[in-house]
Amino acid sequence: MFTPKKMFFTQDVSHKSYFITSLLQFGTLLLVLFSTETAFTQPKIQWASKVLGFSSERADASNPGPQYRAIQVLGSPNKLPQNGESVCAWSTAGADTYAEEYIKVGFENPVRIKQVSIGENWGAGAIIRVLAYDSTDREYIIHENKEDDPTEKGRMSNIIIPQTEYRVYAIKLIVAPAKIPGYNQIDAIGISEIDLPFEAKINLAKDIPKEIIKENLGKGVNSKTGEVAPVITPDGKTLYFTRLGHDLNKGKNKAQDVWFSKVQSDGTWGESENINEPINTSENNAVTTISADGKSIYVLNIYMPDGTLRQGLSVSKRDKLGWKLPKEVKISDYYNREKVVEFSLAPNGKVLVMSCERMDSFGSRDLYVSFLTNELWSKPLNMGVNINTAEDEGSPFIAADSKTLYFSTAGFPGYGKNDIFLTKRLDSTWTNWSEPENIGDLINTSKWDGYFTIPASGEHAYFSSDELSIGKEDIFRIKLFPSIRPDPVAIISGTVINAFDKKTISAEVVMELLNDSTGTDKIVAEFDPETGEYKMIVPLKKAYSLNASKKGFISISENLDLSKDRRFREIKKNISLIPIKEGQTMVLNNLFFNQSKFDILSASYPELNRIIKLMQEYPTMQVIIEGHTDGSDENMILNVKLSQERANEVKKYLVEKGQIDTKRIQTKGWGQSKPIASNATEETRKKNRRVEFTILKL
């Protein structure tokens, strides 16, 4: 794609091998080097899990991190099948030294082995002996290297031996650095109970198509200067990006400014515009992420009163007059040991993923997560060894499903300097992730690749590349194929109005899962108080309660069942709030009972808790709870009894959970005598099965 370029206090934007066999006198030992294009079933390999000893390790006085250390030999290969130098491999302290070096590793589950697989990613051929150890630490020589110097700089060496009589607890490699010029590196050490040679492969996403069309966004977006680091709004209608060295950029150096383009009615992108002040200054500026409604953009750096910038993150909000001066986003104990940093905001606005280097980083930059609590972001938490390596992990992007994460790294097998990978969040901690998948060589190149940005529809991805560009780097898009597409979501949007005068009002709009009695899994809408509009992104395949509330108005809730939806949707939901006054009635839409039962289901608790809050705010309020059913006259007595019991259960909950005086609540069961819809169909009958809440006195 493109060569990364430095941004002030910000981000860098912008195999074959061959068979060799060696027969030894003692038994039959086969050293096999397989091409990555050879097709066969992979053997089960157990990779080293602990370092038991080593002679030396390469250290960098300017960087005391874990790069090149002995621990880098643990786990599966980080570099192969691509060969070359890697900080994710063990290197000895010196190159071309004549003293023998060694590393000894242990395994979680000792087995009788037929194979040792060694990832020699650089300086292959320096291993002169391989030793195995049993439970008593008795030493066995299982391989001595008598072959000529290999022609490959890197390779996966598979040492095939007769099955050992003992279980192998440890393997030791003896290395002669002077045998092969330059530093020698070991990427991984594994053992296997079968003699089918192991082939190092890239962990590719499934079902990658044979062809992908990279579509240049055209002259409306791209120019003869560089366009990099695109950020698409969730609705897919506005694209922000960084433009380098353009004549209309701010400041004398014209280094980098934020520009934007809007999609036109015919699907093309309109003429891009400089976003201007206060976002762009005489220094370097860049948008790094955006809110779900597109009305808050997060920009790199903190904007100081004197017009200068310092490292950090700021947010600018847009009103009808334009973008406001960016304000600092305060992150607890935030620091970054590099000038390069990137951020991505989850659709709920409460989770922030960042790429930076801290004291607990596994290498250079790692991915961290921070959570919003009371307007302060928590201390960055390392997102774990499943995705972070001794290499840089950068350009994170959280998809609209809040589950799929795209990022760039050279720490996993790939095609170039940095590749784009995806991983799936496995739980709510944000530190447990699936094994990263490479999205393939039709997108990743031999150069630096990164900066995926995807709208909520999940249809396309936007990125920068210098291949087939108009000038330098351009912005392109591709159509996402299913295996790398995020889970489908819906964009819920609408206005909030006063039910009486129809004027827009500012209110809190919240989406909650119906089966979440704890209230912890909720999405609060980004809200525009000037227009009364709200917008939020929610995953499909779930049922929700949509709630709107404002002081002085009766809180309203409505069911939104998306459990059967499988494709992206845009849903308009306008909300009318009723002013609080005597005589006002509301239906408790999110109150649930089992069929013909009066026990309240836990999914009803958030609805009832809102009633408790309202009655606590108005301590003299008196109400009546009225139950209704559907049905025929034949079951009138039973239905009246059921509706009364349901009304009584609601009162019981309010009294016990909210400490509401029982004298403030009346109840009445009407059975099927007051329908509000026909009983002809199940859908209309649902409307008749209801509980109503009426204010009798304030």
Q: Could you read off the pLDDT of 142-171 as tens digits, one per residue? A: 999 887 777 789 999 999 999 999 999 999
Q: Which tens digit of pLDDT belongs to each residue from 405-448?
A: 999 999 999 998 899 999 999 999 999 999 999 999 999 988 88
494 near 574, Cβ under 8 Å?
Answer: yes
Name the strand (E) or helix (H) holding 231: strand 226-232
DSSP 263: B
Q: Which tens digit of pLDDT belongs to each residue from 210-234?
A: 999 999 999 999 999 999 999 999 9
β-strand pairing of 309-319 with 296-303: antiparallel
Is residue 81 reached through a cis peptide bond, with omega within 30 degrees of 0 on the bond before it?
yes
- Is residue 200's pLDDT more than 70? yes
Mean of pLDDT values over 449-473: 89
In this predicted structure, what is the pLDDT of residue 65?
Answer: 81
β-strand pairing of 419-424 with 437-438: antiparallel
Mean of pLDDT values over 45-60: 94
Q: Where are the domains of the chain?
A: 37-192, 215-484, 488-579, 581-698
> Please, which residues have CB within 8 angstroms of residue 36's CB and are 6 or more apart in sequence?
15, 16, 17, 81, 199, 200, 201, 202
In this predicted structure, what is the pLDDT of residue 18?
Answer: 26
**CB neighbours of residue 377 within 10 Å:** 21
One-letter-per-residue 3-state SS of 342-366: EEEECCCCCEEEEEECCCCCCCCCE
- Is residue 458's pLDDT more than 80? yes
**% of residues, the chain, pLDDT over 90:** 66
37-192 belongs to which homologous superfamily? Answer: Galactose-binding domain-like (2.60.120.260)
647 near 611, Cβ under 8 Å?
Answer: no
- Which position has the token pair 């080293």? 48
Tokens of residue 396, six digits: 């994170």
Mean of pLDDT values over 580-587: 89
Domain 37-192 identical in fold to domain 215-484: no
- Is residue 94's pLDDT more than 60? yes
- Candidate CATH numbers 2.115.10.20, 1.10.490.10, 1.10.287.4070, 1.20.81.30; the one for domain 215-484: 2.115.10.20
Tokens of residue 319, six digits: 């009103």
Q: Which tens digit of pLDDT belongs to each residue from 327-344?
A: 999 999 999 988 899 999
In this predicted structure, what is the pLDDT of residue 504?
Answer: 87
Q: What is the DSSP string of 22-53?
A: ---SSS--EEE---TT---PPPP-EEP-EEEE
Per-residue pLDDT band at 602 (split at 50, 70, 90): confident
- The highest-level CATH class for domain 581-698 is alpha beta
State the average pLDDT for the chain.
Answer: 88
User: Hey, what CATH topology would domain 488-579 get?
Assistant: Immunoglobulin-like (2.60.40)
Per-residue pLDDT band at 515 (split at 50, 70, 90): low
DSSP 681: S
Q: What is the DSSP string of 172-228?
A: EEEE-GGGSSS--EE-EEEEESS-SPP-----BPSS--S----EE--TTT--SSEEE
In this predicted structure, what is the pLDDT of residue 209?
Answer: 95
In this predicted structure, what is the pLDDT of residue 201?
Answer: 94
HSE on the CB side for 6, CA within 13 Å?
4
In this predicted structure, what is the pLDDT of residue 516?
Answer: 60
d(CA 487, CA 475): 24
Per-residue pLDDT band at 27 (split at 50, 70, 90): very low
